[in-house]
Structure 1
């Protein structure tokens, strides 16, 4: 990444951190997603993904660290009151603060209070993630996709259980005599399975057909995938690692590309069958929508 580009993106991240720290210091409600995205000059649609890619951690993790860092600051005086510190940092009670401190730092607010050595050690443990080691350059293409529809089935659950969704689509295609018309497998994630609980993670499993006459039964539905300019990156390896590849695209390629993201969902084109191809050789094309005019 060019130094000037690295500096620009680092400044965007620092601006968001400063905004969050200022809100915590003043005891204000934390700004919402749209405000933070505006501070960083990123699309709200993709802000969570971009934040994780550029910082190495989810936004929720960043906020949790900043709350605890603020708590450490307020616990420096020996006379500090733990319940007051908890409320000042956005915790519901001193018990909530104690649970967070125990989980992250293996100690208690009372043990930290007024102890400069313990607080310094705790601050080191709350440091942000270190930058990842240099990796081979990415082979990213800019492609223009034509409008097309797929037959989709929305699934809610663990990422590793998506086979059931594709199985249902293939089962319907077999009953309808359309198996030979299947010409592609696609997926549209609504969230990041690495940081979303299975009960909340939604994903559209989808198949493309060479015929436009199919009428899928509910809850299957027709879905138009975004057309226009996309950054395309081929991921090779277990499909569970596809989000890591998205991180690399957003972290290592996007900042120096001159492109901006478009408010449309990312989608994947799955090129291999996990039941036939070894996990290490599975291929999927990641399509990230780009704003026009770049």
Structure 2
């Protein structure tokens, strides 16, 4: 059953990659998450994390990798110019291709055109996603399926590097203190809107959340209310730096879920934090990764 589930996942990812290749040929922009999730027959709540867990990259990074590979394939033609390779691969100019080559392969397009060995080396590397590179190992997991009680949380959408999330939780706590709710704090949670491994810090979005043992008052913008923890969840306990929680979420979807027999719920995976990084050493921080299950 586990192998069949993994096969279905892989087939869904292959359909997405084929669609991305078609977008590249037509020089169309990256489709939205809902469209890609539908192609993979996956929930939009879990598609991006599952895609990354299986490929080692985001859909946008796949498109970028395939675009650069397409340019190198044009450059293998002796008569091709850098401009021709750039335009054929969807870059706006030869300068745009040159900039991306320097960033990704530390070489210029002309070097890649003229040095057959260097070009073929990078063509082989770019032809497969990072998760296909030999040496990738599954993360050992200890997972419990629990029926959790629902709880209200107050969420604040933040932007910034993962290591700077304390500021968002600080803003939430200041709001709770002002309302006399700080002593009723019971839950610290987080929902990763973006994967901090895939986007630069200034674009990284993360929902910082707090749950309280008292009814919530009317919330001022930009705070919002959400219910978490309702029903069955796969829970994996984590000890160590919180930056590693994303990888544990990947492992839940890649290594545990396919053979679990459970269906994923239409709800986001969330992190339940048990310690304050300002008070507990990084290697001792505790948190649970909670994956909602249907039924």
TM-score under structure 1 length normalisation: 0.86
Work out the CA distance in 2 between the residues paired with 1:278 and 1:173.
25
Q: Does 1:38 align with 2:38?
A: yes
Q: Does 1:133 align with 2:132?
A: no
Structure 1 residues 165 and 27: alpha-carbon distance in aligned structure 2, compared to 1, 3 A threshold: closer
Query: Which aligned pairs between 1:167-186 and structure 2 lie closer than 5 A?
Result: 167-186=170-189
**Which residue number in structure 2 is paired with residue 65 of structure 1?**
65
**Which residue number in structure 1 is paired with residue 211 of structure 2?**
208
What is the number of equivalent residue pairs in this alignment?
A: 290
**Which residue number in structure 1 is paired with residue 13 of structure 2?**
13
RMSD between aligned residues: 2.6
Work out the CA distance in 2 between the residues paired with 1:113 and 1:214.
64
Structure 1 residues 117 and 233: alpha-carbon distance in aligned structure 2, compared to 1, 3 A threshold: same
**Which residue number in structure 1 is paired with residue 239 of structure 2?**
236
SS in 2 for 1:233: strand
Q: Does 1:144 align with 2:147?
A: yes
Structure 1 residues 38 and 208: alpha-carbon distance in aligned structure 2, compared to 1, 3 A threshold: closer
Work out the CA distance in 2 between the residues paired with 1:197 and 1:165.
18
Q: Does 1:191 align with 2:194?
A: yes
Query: Which aligned pairs between 1:68-83 and structure 2 lie closer than 5 A?
Result: 68-83=68-83
Cα pair 1:266 1:288 within 8 Å, conserved: yes
Deviations along 1:179-209, one digit per CA (max 9) or x if unpaired, are 3322222222222222233333333322222
Work out the CA distance in 2 between the residues paired with 1:235 and 1:88.
46
Work out the CA distance in 1 between the residues paired with 2:164 and 2:143.
29
Q: Does 1:88 align with 2:88?
A: yes
**Which residue number in structure 2 is paired with residue 279 of structure 1?**
282
Work out the CA distance in 1 between the residues paired with 2:216 and 2:117.
71
Runs of 5+ unmatched residues, structure 1: none
Cα pair 2:237 2:286 within 8 Å, conserved: yes
SS in 1 for 2:266: coil
Cα pair 2:154 2:224 within 8 Å, conserved: yes
Structure 1 residues 114 and 276: alpha-carbon distance in aligned structure 2, compared to 1, 3 A threshold: closer
Deviations along 1:210-243, one digit per CA (max 9) or x if unpaired, are 1116555554443333633322221211112211
Cα pair 1:76 1:115 within 8 Å, conserved: no
Shift of 1:49: 1.4
SS in 2 for 1:113: helix
Moved more, 222-231 or 159-168: 222-231
